[in-house]
Structure 1
Amino acid sequence: MQDCHILITRPEPENTLSCERIVTHGWTAVPLPMLDIAPIEDAQQRAAIRSQIFDIDTFQYVIFVSKNAARLAADWLDTCWPMLPVGVHWIGIGQGTTQALLEAGIPAISNPGHTTEALLEWLKPAKMKDQKILIIRGLGGRPELGDKLEERGAKVHYLSLYERKKPHYTAQTFFMLPDIHLIWVTSGEGLHHLSEYATQHKPEWKTLPILTPSSRVNQQAKEMGWIHASCADGADDNSLIKATEFHIGKQHD
């Protein structure tokens, strides 16, 4: 299993970075993004985004749900705020998102876990009452975080910076792929697209080990017919590499 072919389904540009990490471990990376990330291009929507970015100093907490949210928001902040406003708590969900913010010069902190659920446990309910919170995400993101914060008395607003789309692949794409031994999936939406393609073109993939980022997505995978779904407890490379090493170690036992 040292020459393990791992299917990486992250969106770009993270897919390329994950593939580079995998190669350093002596494994073979097979890139096949299951989400396309498209920044909002509509002029009216971009004007609304700009307005919200200019008002970002009115929020006590700004929460970024993904690396894409962090990267795109950093560009907007550079444009609208030559110096970041003070008094704002910048929070990234997961270490990868937080690291992306830090690299962009945004002094973000992160909860100890990697998921929305872990963040909710970490944020003290009493502290959230009457706090104005901005959640930066993609269009149509999960509402759970905002709903739970509102239950705690927070005033939640959303800022959507990008759309997530299903990539278009043909039967030829799947025919040309090498044999796959293990699959990384990093979101519920990516899993959904992968499952559709697997059902159509590669039903045997559903018998392969698949690593998921959270117990929620792991349960979804099992419900979609993935027989050997395992939770890596994080969507970041380190968590998935650790879970991959564990799996390969079991194969050798």
Structure 2
Amino acid sequence: MSTPPRIVVTRPGEGGRRLVDALSTAGFEAVHPALMTLQPLAADEVERGAVLDFDLYDVVVVTSPFAAECLDEWIDRYWPQLPQGPRFYAVGASTAATLHRTLGIKAKVPDPARGTTSEALLAMRSLTRLDGQRALIVGGSGGRQVMAEALEARGARVAKLALYRRVYTAPDEVTVDWLASGAFTAMIVTSGELLEHLVSWCGQAALNKPLIVSSQRLATLADTMGFASPHVASGATPDALVTAVQEVGDA
């Protein structure tokens, strides 16, 4: 009986676990090393002015399911009812589903055919012109600068509300061996910061293995780091990433 192809999944948290399940169902050996955790910011680290002024924003962009969960806690803390002013946008379907479950919000999401990336969200027609509108980007500390700059270029006054941080950890010994020797079929990375964190452990064999990424921006970054075979999935959903892995295997 042949050994199923080993796929290294770097996405953290519940999103990573869903991806592992999807890969396992598709017949792969999905391994999920602990490389990063998401940690809510303490109350004194959060810009509470953005929460208190929540009803004054025209556009609120929520960048991840964990950001949606954290936002629910902060809204519950300061607002007896959800403010009705903002139009909500979610980078992907999982984030939109979390917003609906926690806050009852029906957020706008990018066309699935364009994928689940910042670029796909920015391509939405309703975000093309934002002259004088106030926009709030809700996510983790750091990141999403491209989105902020793009919204500002379209006329919006942009603020960012960071509700959590990413905490990176060194791979365990088994994963270090896999990365050093390239003892896997492909690796999936959906975050530029995570890619930068991992590259120092990757030997030449690992750099030559297929790297599945969720956007062209990540593929370009991977190329500058020496990854020889980046492949861009149609999005960051489990289905899109599994399909990309299957396509690499069939090539």
Q: TM-score range by the shorter chain?
A: 0.7 to 0.9
Deviations 1:76-99 (A, max 9, x none): 223333432213211001223222
**Partner residue of 2:227?**
226
**Partner residue of 1:185?**
189
Q: What aligned pairs does 1:70-219 form with structure 2 within 5 A after superposition?
A: 70-104=68-102, 105-112=104-111, 113=114, 114-124=116-126, 127-171=129-173, 173-175=175-177, 179-198=183-202, 202-219=203-220
- For 2:191 and 2:127, how far apart are their aligned partners in 1? 27
- For 1:137 and 1:223, how far apart are their aligned partners in 2? 26
Alignment length, in residue pairs?
Answer: 244
- For 1:225 and 1:126, how far apart are their aligned partners in 2? 35
Deviations 1:91-134 (A, max 9, x none): 00122322222232222111213222222221446641111111
* Contact 1:38 1:162 survives alignment (8 Å): yes
* Contact 1:66 1:137 survives alignment (8 Å): yes
* Contact 2:35 2:170 survives alignment (8 Å): no
**Partner residue of 1:12?**
13
Comparing 68-77 with 122-131, greater Cα deviation is found at 122-131
Identical pairs, percent: 30
* Contact 2:129 2:155 survives alignment (8 Å): no
Q: Following TM superposition, where does structure 1 have runs of at least 4 consecutive aligned residues deviating by more than 6 angstroms?
A: none
- Describe the SS at the equivalent of 1:140: coil
- For 1:162 and 1:44, how far apart are their aligned partners in 2? 12
- Describe the SS at the equivalent of 1:157: strand
Q: What aligned pairs does 1:6-85 form with structure 2 within 5 A after superposition?
A: 6-41=7-42, 43-46=43-46, 48-49=47-48, 51-85=49-83
Letter paired with 1:132: R
- For 1:2 and 1:195, how far apart are their aligned partners in 2? 26
* Contact 1:7 1:31 survives alignment (8 Å): yes
Letter paired with 2:190: T
Comparing 22-31 with 115-124, greater Cα deviation is found at 115-124
Gaps of 5+ in 2: none
* Contact 1:63 1:135 survives alignment (8 Å): yes
Q: CA deviation at 1:183?
A: 0.7
Go from structure 1 to structure 2 and tell me whether the alpha carbon gap of 1:57 and 1:2 turns closer, same or farther (over 3 Å shift): farther
- For 1:28 and 1:216, how far apart are their aligned partners in 2? 27
Gaps of 5+ in 1: none
Q: RMSD across aligned C-alpha pairs, in angstroms?
A: 2.3
Letter paired with 1:144: V
